[in-house]
């Protein structure tokens, strides 16, 4: 999906608006906002770079926020039931309805300050009872503006209402999942993004799914989603983001050699894209962890030359400094 990428021009995060995922900060992975390895839910420690693939902005939630997201009473019971069926939903999402590889995303870019584009209005109209179409569109428009403005809690509330009116609208489930992701409500984010994937057959947000699973400390499930993504495939930007997240996961679990093999830049070209720089960042960390600080330093210098303000460079400088 590539709609409303401009929503996130100054921030990094895998969102419905055409940008790239914000990585959980696990101590050894790619730069970004998110969970610290020790407590699983620290706030953002660094700003993230802009990208041209997902949508949105925001920061991770505190541990209290994550605990609250589990719910209480009957609502909490419902969420736990949904979580128990999470694996079966994920397996279903891995299969495109036709059995073919995931199609190229069809959604287009659009400006949040304008009206909902025709293709979204048509999507809502196809799957929503006639009497509910207009209120659904109004809720979705307001939620989109809230999301674009970084008001992810408000967006989440509005999208929950929209979901009640039109549960089969993929755009609602997508933006709902990404709003929950920004708020650190991991279980909700995972459920909604997997629903979006089942409804559309698109692999666009599988890197975000992996990042959520990292935050939930579910390494085996990260591996499963990665293998599913390899089978399904995706656009180049999505593939790079998947390597960033999975490479960071491999560093999380001490598989430094595998992380290097996954992210190793075969060549350092001129004018790299943001997504390439994020892959390089993980590769430099992996090289340093393997003791090859000279290679790590070379990659660090390439990132610094291309994007002096790239998040995490100070840390990478320290990690590779012994080779200078």
C-alpha to C-alpha distance for 61 and 322, rounded to whole angstroms: 35
What pLDDT is stored for residue 167 in this prediction?
97
C-beta of residue 105 within 8 angstroms of C-beta of residue 2: yes
What pLDDT is stored for residue 108 in this prediction?
63
What pLDDT is stored for residue 170 in this prediction?
95
Q: Which domains does the chain have, with CATH numbers?
A: 5-254 (1.25.40.10)
Predicted TM-score (pTM) of this structure: 0.72
Element (H, E) at 150: none
Cα 194 off chain centre by:
12
Residue 218: count of CB within 10 angstroms of its CB: 17
Residue 138: count of CB within 10 angstroms of its CB: 13
What pLDDT is stored for residue 92 in this prediction?
52
What pLDDT is stored for residue 19 in this prediction?
37
Segments in the chain below pLDDT 50: 1-85, 88-89, 95-105, 323-324
Which residues touch 43 (CB under 8 Å, ≥6 apart)? 33, 59, 60, 61, 62
What pLDDT is stored for residue 57 in this prediction?
31
C-alpha to C-alpha distance for 238 and 19, rounded to whole angstroms: 9
What pLDDT is stored for residue 322 in this prediction?
66
């Amino acid at each position: 999906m590539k709609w409303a990428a401009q929503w996130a021009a100054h921030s990094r995060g895998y969102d419905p608006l055409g940008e790239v995922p914000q990585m959980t900060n696990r101590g050894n992975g790619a730069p970004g906002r998110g969970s610290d390895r020790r407590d699983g839910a620290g706030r953002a420690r660094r700003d993230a770079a802009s990208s041209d693939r997902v949508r949105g902005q925001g920061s991770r939630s505190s541990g209290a926020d994550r605990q609250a997201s589990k719910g209480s009473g009957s609502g909490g019971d419902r969420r736990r039931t949904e979580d128990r069926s999470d694996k079966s939903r994920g397996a279903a999402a891995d299969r495109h309805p036709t059995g073919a590889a995931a199609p190229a995303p069809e959604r287009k870019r659009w400006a949040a300050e304008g009206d909902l584009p025709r293709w979204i209005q048509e999507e809502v109209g196809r799957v929503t009872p006639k009497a509910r179409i207009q209120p659904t569109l109004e809720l979705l428009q307001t939620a989109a503006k809230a999301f674009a403005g970084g008001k992810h809690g408000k967006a989440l509330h509005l999208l929950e209402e929209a979901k009640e009116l039109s549960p089969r609208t993929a755009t609602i489930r997508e933006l709902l999942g990404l709003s929950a992701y920004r708020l650190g409500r991991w279980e909700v984010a995972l459920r909604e993004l997997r629903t979006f994937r089942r409804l559309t057959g698109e692999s666009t947000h599988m890197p975000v799914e992996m990042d959520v699973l990292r935050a939930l400390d579910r390494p085996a499930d990260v591996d499963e989603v990665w293998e599913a993504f390899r089978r399904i495939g995706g656009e180049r930007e999505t593939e790079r983001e998947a390597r960033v997240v999975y490479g960071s996961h491999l560093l999380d679990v001490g598989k430094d050699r595998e992380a290097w093999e996954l992210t190793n830049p075969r060549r350092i070209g001129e004018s790299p894209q943001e997504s390439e720089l994020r892959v390089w960042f993980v590769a430099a960390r992996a090289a340093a962890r393997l003791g090859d600080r000279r290679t790590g330093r070379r990659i660090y210098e390439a990132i610094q030359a291309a994007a002096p303000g790239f998040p995490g460079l100070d840390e990478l400088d320290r990690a590779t400094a012994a080779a200078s």
